């Protein structure tokens, strides 16, 4: 019987493994797994207590005051010891920069790396400039990269990544999202995501204020948190629409499923920020489409790959709040169209962007990397 590969999942989560990709990999990848977190060169096992984390970080802080290079050498040596002790066959890195940071230690032990690639780390100008050499070195090694949007592929190739070792695969929707039954007559629009410049939440709010001039009983529920949250709350007061907008903060998956069931349409106005930051393929849009909600969003990043314009939703140009408001209004006035688009979107996501497909893509990359 062929031995099942043993993988190490490396995630930069500071206090615990976090984020939709790493949670899915921990739960669903069909391999023997070890999980490390704590930074781009992670050094904590998954079950490390908070007290032990604090003591270790305190010790590392003292070392860093004396010699930063010495500290990095200690962390790298610790990481290598874990790779050897656990007899790891492949490292699965959550984020490209994580993979690039652990590359040197893995290369010394001839261990391949598979890394997913998210939006900011390949688009944001300063971030890419700071990590350009790390990326180029990573691309020359035994690696497979998994970008979440097609428009990332040319950028990876430009950095020296081999196109035959790039696998386009956004994270998929879990099975429970396909079972949601939305309320197409609810007049409720739903937005879920970070309050960040690349998601331009203030544009969504301004467009929604124009929807209210034609549909006064429309509602917008906005879930999430971030640096622009207070600015957006101030805008709502300035627009005089506070009775129609509900900011509910961070939500868990159970609350997300509940909101999808209560809503009719999902909205998000993603844009390219001034610093180059841009979306990959928003997980929330994939999940909303899987739940049967038509999408009103922008022609941006990987969104164009997961929303079929005028069939599973509407895509407008970035910053075109007038057309966004028009499409939101049109859908709320036509619940039958909402249902048709929602069903088309659910089927499209099921056929092309399920979690099962994404896990199969990552598993294939792991097996192929071990053969390199």
Question: Does residue 6 carry a pLDDT above 70?
Answer: yes
Torsion of CA 64, 68, 72, 73, to 10 degrees: -110
pLDDT digits (tens, 9 = 90+) for 47-65: 898 899 888 888 877 777 7
pTM: 0.92
For strands 32-37 and 6-10, give the pairing.
parallel
Instruction: Decide if 198 contacts 174 (C-beta within 8 A).
Output: no
Question: Does residue 130 carry a pLDDT above 70?
Answer: yes
Q: Predicted confidence band at 1 (pLDDT cuts at 50, 70, 90)?
A: low
pLDDT digits (tens, 9 = 90+) for 228-244: 999 999 999 999 999 99
List, by residue range, all CATH 3.40.50.2000 domains of the chain: 6-172+354-371, 175-352
What mean pLDDT do residues 253-273 have?
97
Residues in the chain: 372
At residue 67, the pLDDT reads 74
Q: CATH code for 175-352?
A: 3.40.50.2000
* More confidently predicted of 64 and 75: 75
pLDDT digits (tens, 9 = 90+) for 312-355: 999 999 999 999 999 999 999 999 999 999 999 999 999 999 99
Q: What angle do CA 107, 112, 116 make, to 5 degrees?
A: 115
Q: Predicted confidence band at 2 (pLDDT cuts at 50, 70, 90)?
A: low
Distance, in Å, from the CA atom of 364 to the CA atom of 360, rounded to the nearest integer, reads: 6
Task: Report helix angle 283-290 to 335-352, nearest 10.
Answer: 110
pLDDT digits (tens, 9 = 90+) for 89-124: 999 999 999 999 999 999 999 999 999 998 889 999
Q: Helices marked H in 159-316 — which ranges? A: 201-211, 229-239, 253-262, 283-290, 303-306
Q: Predicted confidence band at 69 (pLDDT cuts at 50, 70, 90)?
A: confident
At residue 95, the pLDDT reads 94
Distance, in Å, from the CA atom of 47 to the CA atom of 49, rounded to the nearest integer, reads: 6
At residue 74, the pLDDT reads 86
Instruction: Decide if 10 contacts 91 (C-beta within 8 A).
Output: yes
At residue 3, the pLDDT reads 76
Q: CATH code for 6-172+354-371?
A: 3.40.50.2000
At residue 239, the pLDDT reads 97
Half-sphere exposure of 147 (CA within 13 A, CB side): 26
Q: Predicted confidence band at 187 (pLDDT cuts at 50, 70, 90)?
A: very high
Contacts of 362 (CB under 8 A, 6+ apart): 25, 29, 92, 114, 116, 146, 169
Instruction: Please provide the average confidence, as pLDDT, over all residues in the chain.
Output: 94
């Amino acid at each position: 019987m062929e031995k099942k590969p043993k993988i190490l999942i490396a995630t930069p989560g500071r206090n615990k493994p976090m984020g939709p990709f790493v949670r899915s990999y921990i739960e669903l990848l069909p391999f023997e797994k070890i999980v490390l977190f704590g930074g781009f060169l992670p050094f904590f096992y998954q079950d490390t207590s908070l007290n032990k984390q604090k003591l270790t970080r305190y010790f590392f802080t003292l070392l860093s005051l004396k010699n930063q290079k010495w500290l990095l050498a200690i962390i790298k040596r610790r990481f290598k010891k874990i790779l050897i002790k656990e007899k790891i066959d492949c490292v699965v890195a959550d984020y490209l920069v994580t993979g690039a940071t652990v590359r040197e230690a893995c290369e010394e032990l001839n261990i391949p790396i598979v890394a997913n690639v998210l939006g900011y780390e390949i688009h944001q100008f300063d971030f890419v400039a700071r990590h350009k050499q790390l990326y180029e070195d990573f691309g020359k090694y035994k690696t497979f990269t998994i970008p979440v949007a097609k428009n990332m592929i040319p950028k990876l190739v430009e950095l020296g990544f081999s196109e035959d070792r790039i696998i386009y695969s956004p994270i998929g929707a879990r099975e429970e999202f396909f079972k949601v039954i939305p309320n197409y007559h609810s007049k409720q629009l739903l937005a879920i995501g970070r309050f960040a410049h690349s998601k331009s939440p203030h544009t969504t709010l301004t467009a929604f204020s124009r929807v209210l001039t034609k549909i006064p009983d429309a509602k917008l529920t906005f879930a999430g948190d971030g640096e622009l949250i207070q600015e957006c709350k101030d805008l709502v007061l300035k627009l005089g629409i506070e009775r129609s907008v509900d900011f509910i903060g961070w939500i868990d998956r159970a609350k997300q499923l509940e909101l999808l069931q209560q809503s009719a349409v999902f909205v998000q106005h993603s844009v390219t920020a001034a610093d180059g930051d841009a979306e990959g393929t928003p997980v929330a849009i994939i999940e909303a489409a899987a739940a049967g909600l038509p999408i009103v969003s922008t022609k941006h990043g990987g969104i164009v790959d997961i929303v079929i314009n005028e069939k599973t939703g509407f895509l407008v140009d970035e910053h075109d709040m007038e057309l966004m408001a028009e499409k939101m209004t049109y859908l709320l006035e036509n619940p039958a169209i909402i249902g048709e688009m929602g069903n088309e979107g659910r089927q499209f996501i099921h056929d092309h962007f399920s979690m099962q497909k994404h896990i199969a893509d990552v598993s294939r990359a792991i097996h192929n990397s071990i053969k390199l």
